[in-house]
Amino acid sequence: MKTFMSKSFIEKHISGIIDFYEQNALDPQGGFFQTLALDGSVSQAEEKHLVSSARLSLVFALSGEYFDKQEHRTLAKEGIDFIEQYHWDTKRRGYNWTLINNEVGDATNHCYGLAFMLLLYSQATLSGVADYQPKINEVFELMEAQLWEANFGLYADQASADWSQIDSYRGQNANMHACEAMISAYEATQDAKFLDRAVLIAENICLRQTRDTKGYIWEHYDQNWQIDWDYNKDDPKNLYRPWGYQPGHFIEWSKLLLLINNHRPQAWLLTQAEYLYEEAMRLCWDTDFGGLVYGFGPDGKICDDEKYFWVQAETLAAQALLADQTQKEIYWQDYEKLWAYCWEKFSGEKHQPWQRLLNRQGKSIDPNVASPGAKIDYHTTCACFEILKIIK
């Protein structure tokens, strides 16, 4: 039986995925192609999304650091330069959400996008791409000035291009990624304000906002951070705001709580991390076909039985962290079981980009392995880099 706790296996897997993007995603006009099929063919070459631009730059930075590949640090730098030239708008001080032929497609300001820029600048600094500490503080201050709501201790989600209108929607997803970015910003700068902010966001989402939901994290809220049970109920496949509880986000939060615990141990962090993971697995592990399904409703019934790549990848990282911090063997057993499923179904038993989306039975239902804003193997490679910190 193949063991997925092998350092060489994880390293080979990361390298195979990144080689694919290095060979196929480099746009000679700048930035990265973001719509790719498994054979490397490019479609929608004109479309670029801020999130994918940031994520692939981040992946190259991490690879440059771990494998000491200067060429990957260079690609990360080129990716950042592209973002600063085309996504960033100096006049309005915001990042263009999408580009079409390097012209503005959508200029809406998203906390989600700013969180990934903060994460990118932090990891690029840690990876030796360049010293982006001034940029780290610049993005943090932009988020602080435009989207931070001190009375709630959380970020608003979205603003108009000129920042004049803040959308009434509030969501946990952008705050989750803001928390992730704050942890990295702290690691890059050792400035306690970032870790303080990560802890505050985590407390407010995972404790305060779950008092009436059995500790479960709901996705959608109104501007007063009251639960909106019906938001996108008629659009369950929405890319960033699907209706229902998201077990993948339960587990992603589990991972983040454990990362915070590495820096500032508190009993509740480990307790809540285990609870969120175990509830997600209990309710959403598919005992018939393997893997975790996507969503369940307030009644506990599955509302989306498809299998998304990122849910499985984040779960692998959380399992490794839980095993490490609790010393419970069950988490390694879960890890091996899930890896076996992912190796067969998502990666095709090859060190290649994962399929993005499978039906419940495990058949791919998306021809592309990369899609703007939806997938560019950030979750898979970052999960593997996190695992490598543990299986040394």
Q: Which residues lie below 8 Å from residue 378, measured CB to CB, with a gap of 6+?
A: 55, 56, 58, 59
What pLDDT score does 392 carry?
79
What pLDDT score does 284 carry?
98
Q: Which of 13, 49, 110, 249 is catalytic?
A: 249
Architecture of domain 7-388: Alpha/alpha barrel (1.50)
Q: Where do the domains of the chain lie? A: 7-388
Q: Are 112 and 139 in contact (CB under 8 A)?
A: no
What pLDDT score does 2 carry?
67
- For residues 351 and 14, give the distance between their C-alpha atoms in angstroms, rounded to a whole number: 8
305-334 pLDDT, tens digit each:
999 999 999 999 999 999 999 999 999 999
Residue 347's pLDDT band, with cuts at 50, 70 and 90, is very high
What pLDDT score does 235 carry?
85
36-90 pLDDT, tens digit each:
999 999 999 999 999 999 999 999 999 999 999 999 999 999 999 999 999 999 9
176-216 pLDDT, tens digit each:
999 999 999 999 999 999 999 999 999 999 999 999 999 99
Give the pTM.
Answer: 0.98
Averaged pLDDT, 237-255: 95
92-142 pLDDT, tens digit each:
999 999 999 999 999 999 999 999 999 999 999 999 999 999 999 999 999
8-26 pLDDT, tens digit each:
999 999 999 999 999 999 9
Residue 243's pLDDT band, with cuts at 50, 70 and 90, is very high
Task: Identify whether 379 is a catalytic site residue.
Answer: yes
What pLDDT score does 122 carry?
98
Task: Identify whether 249 is a catalytic site residue.
Answer: yes
